[in-house]
Chains A and B, each alone.
Chain A
Amino acid sequence: MYFQLTDGVELHIIKTSQFKSNQIVVNFGTPQTSANTTARSLLGDLLETSTHKYPTQTALARQLSQLYGADVGTGVGRIGTLHSVRLKARFINDRYSYDGLLDNVIDLIHEMLFNPLIDNESFDEPTFNLQRANLRSAIQSLDDDKQYYAETQLRKLYFDDDSIMQIPSFGRLADLDQLNAENLVPVYRQMITSDRINIVVLGDVDERHVVDRFKEFNFTPRPVADHDMMYHQDARPDVTQKDEIQAINQSKLNLAYQLPVYFNEPDYYAAVVMNGILGGTPLSKLFVNVREKESLAYYASSRYHSFSGMLSIQTGIQNTNYERARVLIGQQVEAVKAGEFTAELLREVKDSLINQFQASLDVAGNIAERQLISTLLDRPADDVVQKIEDVTATQVMHVASLLELQAIYYLNGDLTK
């Protein structure tokens, strides 16, 4: 069921009895800028920490316990060029708890969104300081995960210097010092009054009742500007490479290719299948030839980023195997471009992708996410199974021919350093 609460605020209700728990997602979306990213990330943390009615974390946590361990929290993310602050709630159905649990969760969502701990145009100072310190530590600690670190370094090389894609959705350390308990208040107001809001409610619920409850939120109308969620950048003629040495056991070799095929384009499914053949599934060329046949790596995979027109390859290797891995990876890409894959592999990759898609329909969060993306892009959800089935070997070769190597990042793990 679809219901427009006001201009720019939409509600979808997916009624299903498949699950014992319900799911509510409230997505706040706005074009990402260098100024708004870190502020919105910290704002998300503050909104899930306390409210006027529940002024400490403990008070809020106790309320969640009362609600049968409901999981209600915020997170930030990026949907293409759109920055999203998302409140998600997962809680069991009234049937397995008590009549009115759903209502109480909606009350809590209202409290968290409309009654944050702001007094005299300032967030509660101690809470603000603590959350800012915690966000700082969390960002700093990310570098300890070497796989993640290598992926970040690759993105830095791939994207243009002034691109907003350089800024992760959770923000940057450098911005944190400029934020304070006062200047975050307008960021909050802006989000509540101007962001595009999409709400998805999924579960065994009374649809009319849910609509009535969200009407009571009295969202103000806001214009929805035409915004291209797809990120574009021109291909560079040269490959950028960066090598770094760290005293770790396993080396990481990551590559970034431009793949100018986007989520909302006809070739999208061909690109998905191509990625499945190259490195996106355990049947893939990278997995079989780099990991299995030559035992060169513990992991070797590719990932297709359909909102930014990019394909990345990531491997974990021993530094003595660098040259061999580099050659083998290049050969796998060339092989897919040349159509060197069997009809059998094409069939199996399609079956595997179809299986993954159908299995995703058993996870409430995935169904809600699909609805959200389809609404944001204003296009009906595809018949995914048919679209994957329809992809031909020629189409796979065609999209593979668009791959253009742009960046290589090598983290040389050398324990003698």
Chain B
Amino acid sequence: MNEHHYAKYDETIYDQKLDNGLLVQVLPKRNFHKTYAILTVDFGSIDRTFIPVNGQELITVPDGVAHFLEHKMFEKIDHDAFDLFGELGADSNAFTSFTQTSYLFSTTQHVHESLDVLLDFVEQPYFSSQTVQKEKGIIGQEIKMYDDDPNWRLYFGMLGNLYPHDPMHIDIAGTVESIDQITADTLYSTYDSFYQPANMNLFIVGNVDPAETMEWIADNQKQKHFDQVTIPEVQFELNDETGQDVIPFRTLEMDVTRPKVMVGVRGLEPISAGQAGLKYRLGVELLLDILFDDTVDNYLRLYNNGIIDDSFSYNFEMQRGFHFAYFSSDTDHIERFADEIIGILESAQQQIEAAASQFNNIKRAVLGRMIALLDSPEAIANRYAGKLFGATNLLDEITVLESITIEDLYVIAREFIQSQGISVYQIVPRHSN
């Protein structure tokens, strides 16, 4: 077991890679009541084309398989894992992203038993054609619910512009048509390929003793046999690396009160893996802050002119294989919003210079908010991105953040903001007939 002590923030993280390849990390918080544990599989909705462990040929599974698996993992031949957590008084949940699937619980009692339940239900699959059929109804409702959510439509509309031929533009849950093609066999072959201990990590934060916890987990794993198989290389390649396929503009009519607009920026340069990738992510986030956050003049001007209001927000997402930023607002001036945002982005070099006096301030605010996140077991564990950022945790992030200079921002802006990668998507109120 390795120990990493962060004296400045009074935290220690323990980690260990078990014989079967499962990476376990523990951050004890002895004055908390709760323990939060999250088991993450490095497999998500875009990972649809691969050679399965028991096959020779490349296959493409229907959209929505990762999310479907997540739903079905809980159900076993004679019980539901959800009920087992219930019997222990623990809350459990799961979620799927583009590149990861996570299973979690939170409890103030029976931590050892809950950890066993978590590891057992994720490591022992059971799928039948009958239960697969039934799940289609539930997931179908989930997809429909999101279809009515204008913010969700705006976000996926933008992804459709930025990645029109890549799987990111498809709802993580798939479509009603695609999930209809899923069978128990699809689930087994996908499961066997990706749900292997070496492709997972377990992060635990809360009121636990690290050595004892590691022992519990090692004991649990020793009782199971895993075939030594290679995790398939996911055949994810962007349809067009140069971004020539980016759709510059689309509009959707919907039953909304006010127009909504989003500007998106697709990153076109490949990103280094590990810590360098983390530094890039934090750098882009600082860049967006220096261009748009509420401490800079751009923000006040747009706000006072009614081009943005309190619904304005922006975000940067970076996952395995792709990264993009987006800016959105409800506004009565959708064209001006797009022009202004794009204008600021395209003159980023001058903008950084104009706001340079705010750089230290902005960085300090980001630092403070990251330190505040250390009060949240969920935030610490959920933020862990595994291999993508070289196994760095929130405390490492703080150190990396401190190393970023304003000079870095000029370089990052040049790399990230390219006109070819910029796009606009808008939702306007439907005209009643």
Contact = CB atoms under 8 A, between A and B. Distances in A.
- Most A CB contacts (10 A, CB to CB) among B8, B309, B311, B362 go to B309
B357 to A, nearest CB: 10
A1 to B, nearest CB: 19
Interface in B79-113: 82-83, 86-91, 106-109
A56 B297 CA distance: 11
6 contacts: A58-B299, A69-B372, A97-B368, A250-B141, A351-B88, A359-B108
A144 B109 contact: no
A69 B368 contact: yes
A67 B371 CA distance: 13
A249 B310 contact: no
Interface in B185-230: none
B256 interface: yes
A92 B134 CA distance: 48
Contact of B89 (A69, A145, A282, A354): A354
Given A138-B311, A355-B90, A362-B377, 18 more contacts: A17-B31, A57-B294, A61-B294, A69-B364, A90-B372, A91-B368, A91-B372, A130-B303, A130-B304, A137-B330, A138-B309, A140-B258, A144-B256, A144-B257, A296-B137, A298-B144, A355-B108, A359-B106
A65 B295 contact: yes
Interface in A146-196: 146
B294 A68 contact: no
A318 B144 contact: yes
B111 to A, nearest CB: 12
Contacts of B83: 283
Q: List the 5 closest A-B pairs by CB distance, nearest first.
A: A68-B368, A351-B89, A69-B365, A295-B137, A69-B368
A3 interface: no
B361 interface: yes
Contact of A359 (B34, B82, B304): B34
B372 A66 contact: no
Contact of A351 (B109, B145, B309, B372): B109
A18 B365 contact: no
Interface of A: 17-21, 56-58, 61-62, 64-71, 90-92, 96-97, 126, 130, 133-134, 137-138, 140-141, 143-146, 246-250, 282-283, 291-292, 295-299, 316-318, 344, 348, 351-352, 354-356, 358-359, 361-364, 413
Given A20-B375, A92-B372, A355 B361 contact: no
A95 to B, nearest CB: 9
Given A57-B294, A362-B32, A65 B371 contact: no
Contacts of B376: 363
Contacts of A61: 293-295, 299
A19 B375 contact: yes
B306 interface: yes
B366 interface: yes
Contacts of A344: 87
B311 A58 contact: no
B369 A20 contact: no
Contact of B141 (A91, A97, A297, A348): A297
Nearest to B299: A58
A151 to B, nearest CB: 15
Interface string B32-72: 11100000000000000000000000000000000000000
A246 B368 contact: no
Contacts of B294: 57-58, 61
Contact of A361 (B9, B33, B88, B371): B33
A339 to B, nearest CB: 20
A143 B254 CA distance: 13
B9 A141 contact: no
B300 interface: yes
Interface residues of B, number: 63
B145 A21 contact: no
A116 to B, nearest CB: 18
A138 B303 CA distance: 15
Contacts, number: 172
A140 B89 contact: no
Contact of A21 (B135, B309, B366, B371): B371
A247 B429 CA distance: 13
B77 interface: no
A105 to B, nearest CB: 11
Contacts of A65: 295, 358, 361-362, 364-365
Interface of B: 8-9, 31-34, 82-83, 86-91, 106-109, 134-135, 137-138, 141-142, 144-145, 147-150, 255-258, 293-297, 299-300, 303-304, 306, 309-311, 330, 358, 361-362, 364-369, 371-372, 374-377
Given A145-B149, A355-B107, A133 B82 contact: no
Contacts of B150: 144
- Most A CB contacts (10 A, CB to CB) among B86, B90, B303, B362 go to B86
Nearest to A359: B34
Contacts of A140: 257-258
A316 B297 contact: no
Nearest to A142: B257
Contacts of B108: 354-355, 358-359
A66 B145 contact: no
A130 B138 contact: no
B38 to A, nearest CB: 15
Contacts of B144: 249-250, 298, 318
A355 B89 CA distance: 6
Contacts of B106: 355, 359
A198 to B, nearest CB: 23
Given A68-B364, A298-B141, A355-B89, A250 B82 contact: no
A416 B295 CA distance: 47
B257 to A, nearest CB: 5
Contact of B300 (A57, A67, A134): A57
Contacts of B91: 282, 352, 355-356, 359
Contacts of B8: 96
A62 B377 contact: no
A221 B349 CA distance: 55
Contacts of A58: 294-297, 299-300
A15 to B, nearest CB: 13
A361 B34 CA distance: 9
B148 A249 contact: yes
A7 B150 CA distance: 48
A96 B358 CA distance: 21
A133 B306 contact: yes
B88 to A, nearest CB: 7
A316 B140 CA distance: 12
A356 B89 CA distance: 9
A292 B257 CA distance: 34
A165 B157 CA distance: 38
Nearest to B370: A69
Contact of B145 (A64, A134, A249, A356): A249
B256 to A, nearest CB: 5
